[in-house]
Amino acid sequence: MSRYIATRAIRGANALVTEAELMLNKALKEKGEDTPVSFPNTAYYLPTILGMTGKSVEKIGDLRPVMQQARNMLHLIPSESKWTPYLGETLDSGMATLLAAETIEAVRFVYGLQPEPMEGFKLAGGTSFTSPDANNKEGSNGHDAHLNGPIDDIQLRSWGIQLVDGRMPGFAAIVGCARSNAVAVKIVRELQRRNILCFLSGNVNGRSIIHQLREEGVELGYDTYTVPFGTDTISAIYALGFATRSALTFGGLKPGMSREILLYNKDRVFAFVLALGEVDDLKYAAAAGAINFGFPVIADTVIPEILPTGVTTYEHVVSMPFDTIEGKDELEKAERLVQKCIEVRGVKVKVSNVDVPVPYGSAFEGEVVRKADLRVEFGGKHSRCFEFLQMAKLDEVTDGKIEVIGPDFSNVPAQGSTDMGILVQVAGRTMQQDFEPVLERQIHYFVNGASGVQHVGQRDIAWIRISNMAADKGFSLESFGKILHARFHEDFGAIVDKVQVTIVTDPKLHTEWLEKARTAYDFRNKRLADLTDDKVDEFYSCTLCQSFAPNHVCVVSPERLGLCGAYNWLDCKASFNINPTGPNQPIKLGKLVDMKKGYWEGTNDYAKIGSHGVIQEVSMYSIMENPMTACGCFECIVMLIPEANGVMVVSREDTAMTPAGMTFSTLAGIAGGGLQTPGVMGVGKYYLISPKFISADGGFKRVVWMSSVLKDSMADELNHVCQREGDPDLLDKIADERKVSTVEDLLAWLEAHNHPAMAMEPMF
Amino acid sequence: MAKKREIQEYSTDPAAQQMLRRAEELALGTAFTRADNMVPCNIGSAGMCCKQCGMGPCRLTKNGEVGVCGATLDTIQARNLTRAIAAGAAAHSDHGRDMAFLLKATAEGKAEGYSIKDVAKLRQVASYYDIRVDGREPQEIANELADLYISQFGQQRGEVVPARRAPKKRQQLWRERNVVPRGVDREIVEALHRTHIGDDQDHEHILEHAIRTGLADGWAGSMIATDVSDILFGTPAPILGQANLGVIKEDMVNVVVHGHEPSLSEMIVAASQDPEIIEYAKAAGSNGINLSGICCTANEILMRQGIPAAGNFLHQELAILTGAVEAMVVDVQCIMQALVGLAQNFHTKIITTSPKVRITGATHIEFDEHKALTIAKQILRTAIDNYKNRDRNKTFIPQIKQDLIPGFSHEYINYMLGGSYRASFRPLNDAIMSGRIRGVAAIVGCNNPRSSQDYLHNKVVKELLKQDVLVVQTGCGAIASGKLGLLLGEAGLSEVGPGLKEICETVGIPPVLHMGSCVDNTRILTVLTQMVEEGGLGDDIDKIPAVGLAPEWMSEKALAIATYCVASGAYVIFGGASPVSGMPDRVSDRTRC
Closest CA to B223 of B457, B537, B568: B568
What is the band of B582 on the pLDDT scale with cuts at 50, 70, 90?
Answer: low
Establish if B66 belongs to a structural domain: no
Distance from CA of B328 to the nearest CA of A (A): 29
Establish if A384 belongs to a structural domain: yes
pLDDT of residue A547: 66
Digit-coded pLDDT (tens) for A169-204 = 889 999 999 999 999 999 999 998 888 999 999 999
Total number of domains constituting chain A: 4
What is the band of A131 on the pLDDT scale with cuts at 50, 70, 90?
Answer: very low
Backbone angles phi, psi at B106, to 5 degrees: -65, -45
Clarify whether residues A449 and A500 are in a common domain.
yes
In this predicted structure, the answer to whether residue A138 has a pLDDT above a threshold of 60 is no
CA-based nearest residue in chain B for residue A90: B419
Distance from CA of B350 to the nearest CA of A (A): 34
What is the band of B583 on the pLDDT scale with cuts at 50, 70, 90?
Answer: low
What is the band of B591 on the pLDDT scale with cuts at 50, 70, 90?
Answer: very low
pLDDT of residue A548: 67
Establish if B300 belongs to a structural domain: yes
CA-based nearest residue in chain A for residue B435: A308
Closest CA to A303 of A74, A45, A22, A8: A8
Residue B193 belongs to domain with CATH number: 1.20.1270.30
pLDDT of residue A695: 93
Mean pLDDT of chain A: 89
Establish if B67 belongs to a structural domain: no
Query: How buried is residue A536: exposed, middle or buried, by Cβ count under 10 Å (0-12/13-18/19+)?
Result: middle
Distance (Å, rounded) from C-alpha B527 to C-alpha B533?
Answer: 10
Clarify whether residues A494 and A570 are in a common domain.
no
Find the DSSP H helices in B108-201. 119-128, 138-154, 168-176, 184-194
Residues of chain A contacting residue B514, judged by C-beta atoms under 8 Å apart: none
CA-based nearest residue in chain A for residue B431: A308
Asked if A306 is an interface residue toward chain B (Cβ–Cβ < 8 A), one would say yes
Establish if A136 belongs to a structural domain: no
pLDDT of residue A168: 79
Clarify whether residues B440 and B366 are in a common domain.
no
CA-based nearest residue in chain A for residue B402: A82
Establish if A523 belongs to a structural domain: no
In this predicted structure, the answer to whether residue B585 has a pLDDT above a threshold of 60 is no
CB B75 within 8 A of CB B197: no
Distance (Å, rounded) from C-alpha A593 to C-alpha A621?
Answer: 13
Using CB atoms, pick whichever of A1, A308, A309 lies closest to residue B508: A1
Using the beta-carbon criterion (under 8 Å), do B419 and A89 form an inter-chain contact?
yes
Using the beta-carbon criterion (under 8 Å), do B419 and A78 form an inter-chain contact?
no
Backbone angles phi, psi at A226, to 5 degrees: -130, 100
Query: What residue type is A169 in one-letter code?
Result: P
Distance (Å, rounded) from C-alpha B286 to C-alpha A311?
Answer: 51
- Say what the ipTM of the complex is: 0.92
CA-based nearest residue in chain B for residue A94: B419
Clarify whether residues B576 and B431 are in a common domain.
yes
pLDDT of residue A491: 83
Digit-coded pLDDT (tens) for B313-326 = 999 999 999 999 99
Distance (Å, rounded) from C-alpha A287 to C-alpha A279?
Answer: 10
Residues of chain A contacting residue B509, judged by C-beta atoms under 8 Å apart: 85
Distance (Å, rounded) from C-alpha A38 to C-alpha A44?
Answer: 9
SS3 A65: helix
In this predicted structure, the answer to whether residue A255 has a pLDDT above a threshold of 60 is yes
SS3 A152: coil
Q: In what order do the strands lie in the sheet with A703-706?
A: A680-683, A636-641, A646-651, A703-706
CB A696 within 8 A of CB A762: no
The percent of residues above 70 in pLDDT, for chain A, comes to 96
Clarify whether residues B368 and B432 are in a common domain.
no
Clarify whether residues A608 and A493 are in a common domain.
no
What residues have CB less than 8 Å from B511, skipping those under 6 apart?
B465, B470, B471, B486, B491, B492, B495, B496, B500, B504
Query: How buried is residue B39: exposed, middle or buried, by Cβ count under 10 Å (0-12/13-18/19+)?
Result: exposed
Task: Say if strands A646-651 and A599-600 run parallel, antiparallel, or are unpaired.
Answer: unpaired
What residues have CB less than 8 Å from A234, skipping those under 6 apart?
A16, A101, A104, A105, A201, A282, A286
Asked if A84 is an interface residue toward chain B (Cβ–Cβ < 8 A), one would say yes
Over residues B526-530, the mean pLDDT reads 95
Neighbours of A567 (CB within 10 A): 24
Clarify whether residues A212 and A321 are in a common domain.
yes
In this predicted structure, the answer to whether residue A135 has a pLDDT above a threshold of 50 is no
Angle at A173 between CA A169 and CA A175, to 5 degrees: 155
Structural domain including B486 reads: 404-591
Clarify whether residues B428 and B291 are in a common domain.
no
Total number of domains constituting chain B: 4
Asked if A80 is an interface residue toward chain B (Cβ–Cβ < 8 A), one would say no
Over residues B195-217, the mean pLDDT reads 96
Q: In what order do the strands lie in the sheet with B253-259?
A: B363-364, B349-352, B325-330, B253-259, B289-294, B309-311, B241-243, B402-404
Using the beta-carbon criterion (under 8 Å), do B418 and A91 form an inter-chain contact?
yes
Establish if B216 belongs to a structural domain: yes
Query: What residue type is A607 in one-letter code?
Result: A
Half-sphere exposure of A49 (CA within 13 A, CB side): 27
Distance from CA of A92 to the nearest CA of B (A): 6
Clarify whether residues A329 and A371 are in a common domain.
no
Using the beta-carbon criterion (under 8 Å), do A82 and B489 form an inter-chain contact?
yes
What is the band of B589 on the pLDDT scale with cuts at 50, 70, 90?
Answer: very low
Using the beta-carbon criterion (under 8 Å), do A83 and B489 form an inter-chain contact?
yes
Distance (Å, rounded) from C-alpha B80 to C-alpha A508?
Answer: 108
Using the beta-carbon criterion (under 8 Å), do B240 and A86 form an inter-chain contact?
no
Long-range (24+ apart) CB contacts under 8 A made by A738-742 are A738/A708, A740/A659, A740/A705, A741/A656, A741/A657, A741/A658, A741/A659, A742/A659, A742/A661
CA-based nearest residue in chain B for residue A256: B421
Closest CA to A760 of A694, A682, A712: A694
Using the beta-carbon criterion (under 8 Å), do B421 and A85 form an inter-chain contact?
no
Question: Could you tell me how many residues make up chain B?
Answer: 593
Clarify whether residues A334 and A380 are in a common domain.
no
Residue B581 belongs to domain with CATH number: 3.40.50.2030
Using CB atoms, pick whichever of B239, B416, B506 lies closest to residue A2: B506
pLDDT of residue A351: 66
Distance (Å, rounded) from C-alpha A60 to C-alpha A106?
Answer: 9
Q: In what order do the strands lie in the sheet with A374-378?
A: A416-417, A374-378, A463-467, A453-456
Establish if A115 belongs to a structural domain: no
Digit-coded pLDDT (tens) for A448-469 = 889 899 988 888 888 899 999 9
Structural domain including A102 reads: 3-110
What is the band of A137 on the pLDDT scale with cuts at 50, 70, 90?
Answer: very low
CB A338 within 8 A of CB A298: no
Task: Say if strands A420-427 and A498-504 run parallel, antiparallel, or are unpaired.
Answer: antiparallel
CA-based nearest residue in chain A for residue B404: A82
Distance from CA of B498 to the nearest CA of A (A): 12
pLDDT of residue B593: 37
Clarify whether residues B341 and B420 are in a common domain.
no
Clarify whether residues B409 and B523 are in a common domain.
yes
Report the predicted TM-score, pTM, of the whole model to 2 decimal places: 0.81
HEC letters along A608-654: HHHCCCCCCCCCCCCCCCCCCCCCCCCCEEEEEEHHHCEEEEEECCC
SS3 A508: helix
Clarify whether residues B440 and B511 are in a common domain.
yes
Clarify whether residues B30 and B151 are in a common domain.
no
* β-sheet bridge partners, residue A197: A171
The percent of residues above 70 in pLDDT, for chain B, comes to 98
> Do you find a cis peptide bond into B510, omega within 30 degrees of 0?
no
Digit-coded pLDDT (tens) for B269-292 = 999 999 999 999 999 999 999 999
Distance (Å, rounded) from C-alpha B577 to C-alpha A242?
Answer: 63
Using the beta-carbon criterion (under 8 Å), do A311 and B416 form an inter-chain contact?
no
Clarify whether residues A502 and A538 are in a common domain.
no
Instruction: Classify each residue of B298-328 as buried b or exposed e, where b means 16 or more C-beta atoms within 10 Å of its C-beta.
Output: bbbbbbbbbbbbbbbbbbbbbbbbbbbbbbb
What is the band of A142 on the pLDDT scale with cuts at 50, 70, 90?
Answer: low
Q: What is the DSSP string of B329-382?
A: EE-SSS--THHHHHHTTSSPEEEE--TT---TTSEE----GGGHHHHHHHHHHH
Residue A333 belongs to domain with CATH number: 3.40.50.2030
Distance from CA of A183 to the nearest CA of B (A): 32
Boundary of a domain, candidates A489, A507, A525: A507
Clarify whether residues A367 and A336 are in a common domain.
no
Using CB atoms, pick whichever of B239, B429, B506 lies closest to residue A87: B506
Clarify whether residues B255 and B278 are in a common domain.
yes
Clarify whether residues A229 and A280 are in a common domain.
yes
Using CB atoms, pick whichever of B416, B418, B506 lies closest to residue A308: B506
Distance (Å, rounded) from C-alpha B550 to C-alpha B562?
Answer: 8
Query: What are the CA-CA distances from residue A152 to residues A127, A256, B319, B593 (Å)?
Result: 6, 20, 69, 57
Asked if A85 is an interface residue toward chain B (Cβ–Cβ < 8 A), one would say yes
Find the DSSP H helices in B497-555. 498-507, 521-534
Digit-coded pLDDT (tens) for A309-367 = 888 888 889 999 999 999 999 999 999 999 888 888 876 666 677 889 998 887 787 77
Closest CA to B265 of B332, B348, B217, B336: B332
CB A249 within 8 A of CB A150: no
Digit-coded pLDDT (tens) for A432-441 = 888 888 888 8
Using the beta-carbon criterion (under 8 Å), do B417 and A309 form an inter-chain contact?
no
Asked if A263 is an interface residue toward chain B (Cβ–Cβ < 8 A), one would say yes
Digit-coded pLDDT (tens) for A19-39 = 999 999 999 999 999 999 999
Clarify whether residues B465 and B558 are in a common domain.
yes
Establish if A356 belongs to a structural domain: no
Using the beta-carbon criterion (under 8 Å), do B506 and A316 form an inter-chain contact?
yes
Instruction: Classify each residue of B259-295 as buried b or exposed e, where b means 16 or more C-beta atoms within 10 Å of its C-beta.
Output: bbbbbbbbbbbbbbeeeebbebbeebebebbbbbbbb
What is the band of A157 on the pLDDT scale with cuts at 50, 70, 90?
Answer: confident
User: In which element (H, E) is residue A391 found?
Assistant: strand A385-391
Clarify whether residues B430 and B547 are in a common domain.
yes
Q: What is the DSSP string of A182-247?
A: HHHHHHHHHHHHTT-EEEEE--BTTB-HHHHHHHTT---BGGGTEEE--SSGGGGHHHHHHHHHHH
Establish if A309 belongs to a structural domain: yes
Boundary of a domain, candidates B367, B394, B421: B394
Backbone angles phi, psi at A640, to 5 degrees: -65, 135
Query: What are the CA-CA distances from residue A720 to residues A699, A700, A717, B411 (Å)?
Result: 14, 11, 5, 65
Digit-coded pLDDT (tens) for B245-260 = 999 999 999 999 999 9
Using the beta-carbon criterion (under 8 Å), do B436 and A258 form an inter-chain contact?
no
Asked if A699 is an interface residue toward chain B (Cβ–Cβ < 8 A), one would say no
Establish if A513 belongs to a structural domain: no
Range with the poorest average pLDDT among B51-65, B142-156, B330-344: B51-65
Residue A443 belongs to domain with CATH number: 3.30.1650.10
Mean pLDDT of chain B: 94
Residues of chain A contacting residue B503, judged by C-beta atoms under 8 Å apart: 308
CA-based nearest residue in chain A for residue B487: A82
Clarify whether residues B252 and B373 are in a common domain.
yes
Clarify whether residues A267 and A406 are in a common domain.
no
What is the band of B488 on the pLDDT scale with cuts at 50, 70, 90?
Answer: very high
Backbone angles phi, psi at B257, to 5 degrees: -100, 135
Using the beta-carbon criterion (under 8 Å), do A307 and B502 form an inter-chain contact?
yes
Closest CA to A49 of A303, A235, A206, A255: A255
Distance (Å, rounded) from C-alpha B298 to C-alpha B265?
Answer: 9
What residues of chain A, 625 to 644, have a C-beta less than 8 Å from chain B? Answer: none
Greater confidence (A163 vs A266) lies with A266
Establish if A694 belongs to a structural domain: yes
Using the beta-carbon criterion (under 8 Å), do B508 and A87 form an inter-chain contact?
yes
Return the residue in B408, B488, B496, B506 with the most chain A beta carbons within 10 A, the one to mutate for interface testing: B506
Boundary of a domain, candidates A302, A320, A345: A345
